[in-house]
Every structure is written in C-alpha cells, then in structure tokens.
C-alpha cells in the first residue's frame, strides 16, 4: 500500500484513540493536506469503515469492520511478523502467493492473507474450504537450520496457534497429530507447511494456516466433522485482533524453536494431543497401521504401540481414532 497505506493506517489509529478529530489536526499530525485527509476518509469508507463527519467537530470512527484490510490489521501487529503484509480479497491460495514472494526475495515474516480462497489447499492433496469469514494466511519463514530439523516446525506452529486461541478466546483447543486443530472433537483449523530446500540449506518455508473463525455453516461433506471458533465460543471473533495475537505468539515461539528446537515445546504439544492413550488407525505411506497412540517424541514422531509389542515411530500420516466420534469419522476439509 506504500505511503498512502501508512497514512491511512495512522489515520485509523488516530481516530481509534480519540473521539472526534478535526480535519486540520489530522492533516497536521499526518503531514498531509486537508484534501488528502478527505481522500483517505473516502477510501476508508469505501472499504467499509464507518467514519462520521461533522462540519464543526471533524471525523469520528464508528465500528471497525471485520475485514483483514491493512489499516484494520496493522494496528494489532506488535512484532516483526506481518510486515510486509499482503492482502487479497480473493486469491486461489495464499500459500501460492507467499511462494511467489519468497522466490522474489521477500523477507522472513512476510504474511499473505485472503478473505477468501478459491483453490485453498490442505494436507495430503486435499482441498481446503475457504469462504469469507475464516482466517486464511501464509507466513514466510527462512529458518537457518538443516532441512531435517524442520520436521517439527508444523507441530511447533500448531501449539503456537492453539496457545494464541487459548490466551485470546479462553477456548481449549486440542491437537490431532501432526497439526490438526480441534474444538469439541471437530476440526477448526489446520496447517500446511511447504518447504524449498537443498540438501544442506533451507531456502524458505511457507506456513499456511487456516482457521474457521466466523463461519456459521459448512457444506454437507464437512457438516459433521468441522466447526468454527464462532460456533464454539458463541460469538463473533475479531479476525484482525486474532491474527495480531497469533502472529505475536508464533513469532516468539518460532524464534525460540530456531535457537532450541522442539524440546521446549514437547510437553506443551503432548498435553494438548487429544488422542493419546487411544486405539488409532494410522495411514502412513500407503500402509494402514493400528495400535495404541503412546505419545509423540521430541523429534515430533508419533509413537505407535503395535499389537504383539514394539513401538513404531511415524514421521507422517493420518490418524483416525477408533471410536464413533467426529474425529474418528475423519477431520480433513476435503
Ligand atoms: C490441513 O489440511 O489441515 C491444512 C489446511 C491449511 C489451510 C491453509 S489456509 C491458508 C493456506 N493457504 C492454503 O491454500 N492452505 C493454507
């Protein structure tokens, strides 16, 4: 959005902090003419902001719309993640946009968001239902670690997202290994990490995070397996504020992971795993395995206690709990 964008963000912030502010004062504080102030006000109104104007008192901000537009989100960013911030009303997949930016040299912390994705992608080649009202974003990371170390990154990100939701909304999501986020036994979010690396060096990782935030109904194929934060919390959630919280928690946890690996997060991850101690079926590399989910090790592998004794350590796969609940029915967005 360039300098117009930053003036607009500062204008929103100024109006948020105060009641009425005169056009003259806004112009002075932002270092722009009154005509330019008016242009920004008009553009913001077009984007959905309720800005009231009184000839004698100036401008006042009404309710801020639940959009992910830069002037709405940027005031909620407290760290470096989220800058640069790329916004799309509609795009095929934010992961694809983030990969393009990565290839053209965008820095770590770049975030791409979309109100809606037309080709949202999930793990294991599935599609990801991405209507308006969700939080669909991709974060560009450039970890300076050997490629093999990145296998715990999706797990780290999922604990960070869960912690962010806990702190911000007081909900208690669970995790389904490796990185499905569950509420009430149904899937509320997922993470798709895509890496570009050579044998020794990681070029970049695109971490695509999808959360069903204010979605109130799902298509028939997801009706019994998906849920949203709004359904679970009983109220509308500010996606902009939530994005700010999530990026702050992710940034802090990611920096620690870069220094210390997954070990400091291992206990927090396992505590939130909703299927440990249960009989599960795991589909991994075309093989169907059954056993007891005994834990997740410090390298992020699922420990499966198999019939006849012995533990298998699985690096990837799809877990299904052998019970008649929603998770057992499968939880992906297909
Ligand atoms: C999963 O299968 O659980 C992972 C879902 C990841 C969805 C997110 S939404 C933002 C980003 N863009 C995509 O196309 N996918 C990820």
User: Which residue has the least CA distance to atom 11 on ligand 1?
Assistant: 208
Rounded CA-CA distance 121/226 in Å is 16
Determine the distance separating the centroid of ligand 1 and the alpha carbon of 94, expressed in angstroms: 8
Burial-class residue 278 by CB neighbours within 10 Å (0-12, 13-18, 19+). Answer: middle
Burial class (CB within 10 angstroms; exposed 0-12, middle 13-18, buried 19+) of 242 = buried
CA distance 13 to 106: 27
HSE-up of 266 (CA within 13 Å, CB side)? Answer: 13
- Provide the pLDDT for residue 5: 53
At residue 62 the predicted structure's pLDDT band, cuts being 50, 70 and 90, is: confident
Convert the pLDDT of each residue in 275-311 to its tens digit.
Answer: 999 999 999 888 999 999 999 999 999 999 999 899 9
Tokens 């997202």 identify what position?
161
Residue 210, ligand 1, Cβ within 6 A = yes
Span from the CA of 174 to the centroid of ligand 1 (angstroms): 18
Q: What is the DSSP code (8-state) at residue 288?
A: E
Q: Please determine, for residue 69, whether its predicted confidence score (pLDDT) is greater than 50.
A: yes
Q: Which residues make Cβ contacts (< 8 Å) with residue 6, sequence separation at least 6?
A: none
Q: Is the pLDDT of residue 332 over 60?
A: no
Mean pLDDT of 128-136: 97
The proportion of the chain whose per-residue pLDDT surpasses 70, expressed as a percent, equals 95
Average pLDDT over residues 243-267: 97
Residue that wins the pLDDT comparison between 196 and 323 = 196
| pLDDT > 90? residue 331 | no
CA–CA separation, 296 vs 294, rounded Å? 7
Best probe residue, ligand 1, of 88, 92, 95 (max atoms within 8 Å of C-beta): 95
pLDDT one-digit tens code per residue, 3-25? 445 788 889 889 988 889 999 99
């Amino acid at each position: 959005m360039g300098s117009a964008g930053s003036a607009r963000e500062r204008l929103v912030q100024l109006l948020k902090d105060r009641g009425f502010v005169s056009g003259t004062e806004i112009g002075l504080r932002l270092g722009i003419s009154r005509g330019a102030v008016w242009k920004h006000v008009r553009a913001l109104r077009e984007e959905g902001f309720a800005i009231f104007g009184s000839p004698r008192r100036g401008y006042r901000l009404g309710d801020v719309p639940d959009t992910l537009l830069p002037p709405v989100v940027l005031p909620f960013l407290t760290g470096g993640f989220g800058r640069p911030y790329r916004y799309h009303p509609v795009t095929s997949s934010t992961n694809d946009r983030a990969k393009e930016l990565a290839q053209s040299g965008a820095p770590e912390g770049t975030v791409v968001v979309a109100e809606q994705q037309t080709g949202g992608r999930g793990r294991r080649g599935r599609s990801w239902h991405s209507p308006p009202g969700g939080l669909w974003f991709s974060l560009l990371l450039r970890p300076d670690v050997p490629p093999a170390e990145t296998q715990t990154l999706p797990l780290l990100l999922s604990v960070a997202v869960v912690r962010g939701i806990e702190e911000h909304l007081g909900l208690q999501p669970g995790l389904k290994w490796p990185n499905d986020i569950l509420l009430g036994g149904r899937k509320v979010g997922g993470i798709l990490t895509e890496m570009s690396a050579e044998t020794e060096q990681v070029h970049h990782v695109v971490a695509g995070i999808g959360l069903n935030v204010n979605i109130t109904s799902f298509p028939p194929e997801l009706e019994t397996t998906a849920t949203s934060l709004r359904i679970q919390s009983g109220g509308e959630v500010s996606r902009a504020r939530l994005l700010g919280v999530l990026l702050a928690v992710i940034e802090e946890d990611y920096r620690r992971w870069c220094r210390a690996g997954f070990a400091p997060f291992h206990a927090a991850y396992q505590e939130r795993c909703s299927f440990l101690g249960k009989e599960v079926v795991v589909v991994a590399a075309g093989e169907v395995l059954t056993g007891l989910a005994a834990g997740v090790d410090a390298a992020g592998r699922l420990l499966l206690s198999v019939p006849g004794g012995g533990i298998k350590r699985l690096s990837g796969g799809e877990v299904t709990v052998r019970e008649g609940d929603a998770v057992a029915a499968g939880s992906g967005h297909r």
